[in-house]
Amino acid sequence: MVRRHHGRQGLPARPAPHDPAVSGAPGLVGPPDVVLGTAVADDVAGYQAFTRRAAELGYGRVWLTETYKLDPVTFAGWAATALPGHPLGLGVVPAPLRSGPQLAMIASTLAGLGVEDLEVLVGASSAAMTRGWHGRGVATMAAMEALVASARAAASGERTPGGFTNGLGPAPLRLGLAAFGPKMLRLAGRVADRVVLNMVAPAVVPSFLAEIAEGASAAGRPAPPVTVWAHVALDPSEQTVAAARRFVSGYIRVPGYDRAFAAQGFGAVVEAARAAASTREVRGLVPDELLVEVLGLGDLSTLRARLDAYREAGAHPALVPSVVADPGAVRTLAALAPEAGEGRGAAAS
């Protein structure tokens, strides 16, 4: 097993978690969001059941991700009718697969279908997806910034420099960025309406927020709100741990994610993974400690404390539940639901 290296690479020293200049709003309240991840269902009906369950249990925004199963835009059209008024999020949407006019048309169409509260989240994704699957390029910093500007111009309803005019008129479009490295975090601080972090422990969130705040300050604007994809595995079995290790091994060498893991003290693991000859070898390098720190595995009290820690650090949690031992995340969603938390507080008072 690779020993943990405690050096934090690529980020400044950790600031005090309650410094308002860098931590946004410590002690954030409100129901957690939930992420409709690839693994939560095997068919569209399963995704529909998961989404309905999350809404019924009082969760906040439902984020619809784009990978290799569900088309999030089409699914959002269904959700607009099935869950009128419920907040929706599209993303993470791979930036190389979308144009500004496309995002504007998506926003105006969904608004016409009844979506009242929509956010769109774009990210660089990976070369394996954008180039390997779709034959597109990879997103540069300049391309990400240009996409945000293009989408906002197109959504305004005005004729863009390229000649596009949104035929449905102006559309409300809030654009967020998924970010990891310092440069992307600062760009997000400058231009994004929201920043999303993925696979980060609560203890390092303030360091990421500091970079975002620096970018926002340079642009003369308040720092945007920050959401963390909070992976949770309730009472993990051996099969759950094995699945978590497979999951992480698929990301630990991906640019951006590798820096995030290194910044959390796992630089030695990242370096060893880069030199590994196979995915199987990479899996063998991932220590249990990384899974617990980065993904969040534990009993109910441990997971609740983790969500509270994200809020105290100034980030809003969005649950990414493990379904290995909990098909459809039925038990996990019920246990961590906002109403369940309120009941816990009432019992303690």
232-251: per-residue pLDDT in tens?
999 999 999 999 999 999 99
Q: How many CB atoms lie within 10 A of CB 229?
A: 20
Rounded to whole angstroms, how far apart are CA atoms 329 and 323?
Answer: 5
Q: What's the pLDDT at 29?
A: 67
Report DSSP letters for 223-291, one per residue: PPPEEEEEEEEES--HHHHHHHHHHHHTTTTSTTHHHHHIIIIIHHHHHHHHH-SSHHHHHHH--HHHI
What are the start-end ranges of the E strands in the chain?
Answer: 33-36, 62-64, 88-94, 118-123, 174-178, 194-198, 226-234, 297-298, 316-321
Which CATH superfamily is 33-233+302-327 part of? Luciferase-like domain (3.20.20.30)
103 DSSP assignment: H
Q: What's the pLDDT at 264?
A: 92
Q: What's the pLDDT at 125?
A: 77
Domain spans, the chain: 33-233+302-327, 236-298
- Give the pLDDT confidence of 49-104 residue by residue, as tens digits: 999 999 999 999 999 998 878 999 999 999 999 999 999 999 899 988 899 999 99
pLDDT below 50 — which residues of the chain? 1-26, 343-349
Question: What contacts 96, CB < 8 A, 6 or more positions away?
Answer: 125, 130, 134, 136, 137, 138, 139, 143
Q: What's the pLDDT at 107?
A: 96
Q: What's the pLDDT at 200?
A: 95
Q: What's the pLDDT at 17?
A: 30
pTM of the model: 0.87
Burial class from Cβ neighbours inside 10 Å (0-12, 13-18, 19+) for residue 308 reads middle
